[in-house]
A and B are shown apart, each in its own frame.
Chain A
C-alpha cells in the first residue's frame, strides 16, 4: 500500500462545479503539500499545511492530522483548472517528499 493515497484518480466536472480531491496518508508527517501539474509537466506548489485550513482564491486546502486526511477544494471550477493535482507529504524529521499518484481533473466549459 502506498504511503500517500489520492482519490479519485480521474475527475471530470462542468464549469462552475465545486470540486473535492482527497488525500490520505499512513505515516507521521511534518507537512502536507498540494501541487498542481499542468499538461506541459511543470509543477506549481499550491499549499503547504500542517494543520487546519488554508485558502487562496478559489482553492481551499484542509487537513485533519488525527484522521491523516487532507482535502483540496476548488470552488466555481473553470476549464483553466484542468490539471493533475498531486498530494505529497514530508515525513517527520525528513526533507524528502513522498508523493501520491495524482488526480487528473478535467473541467469542461
Chain B
C-alpha cells in the first residue's frame, strides 16, 4: 500500500544533540512538507520541497535543516540551535495543490 512512513514514532534526545527524523513516501509525490505541532496551536510549516534537490524555508525554519536527495525521502534534522525542540512533527506529501495531501503518523520528539 502506498503511504508515508515516519520513524521513529517516539524519540528522546539530550539537550544539545542534533537529531534526524525520517520521512519516506512511496506515492511518487513531487512535493513534501514538514510541520510542527504544539499543544493548542495549529500546525506550522518548517520546510517544504517541491522537487528533488530543492527546498524552501517555511514559517519556522530556524534551528532545522532538511535535504531532498531522493524523491522518496525528506529527512528533517533538528539541530542544537532550535531553542524549544520538544514537539510533535508531521511529514506530508502531495502531487500538487489540486490533488490534496497525504500525512504521516508523526514523530513525537522529547528533548531532556
Residues of chain A having any CB pair with chain B under 8 Å: 2, 4, 30-31, 33, 35, 40-45, 48, 86, 88, 90, 94-102
Contacts and interface: CB of A to CB of B under 8 A. Distances in A.
B43 A99 contact: yes
Interface of B: 31, 33, 35, 37, 40-45, 48, 50, 58, 88, 90, 92, 94, 96-98, 100-106, 108
Nearest to A102: B42
Contact of B104 (A4, A31, A35, A42): A42
B100 A97 contact: no
Contacts of B105: 40-42
B54 to A, nearest CB: 13
Contact of A33 (B90, B96, B98, B101): B101
Contacts of A4: 42
A94 B98 CA distance: 11
Given A42-B104, A42-B106, A44-B103, A99 B90 contact: no
Given A41-B106, A96-B45, A96-B48, A101 B101 contact: no
A48 B98 CA distance: 9
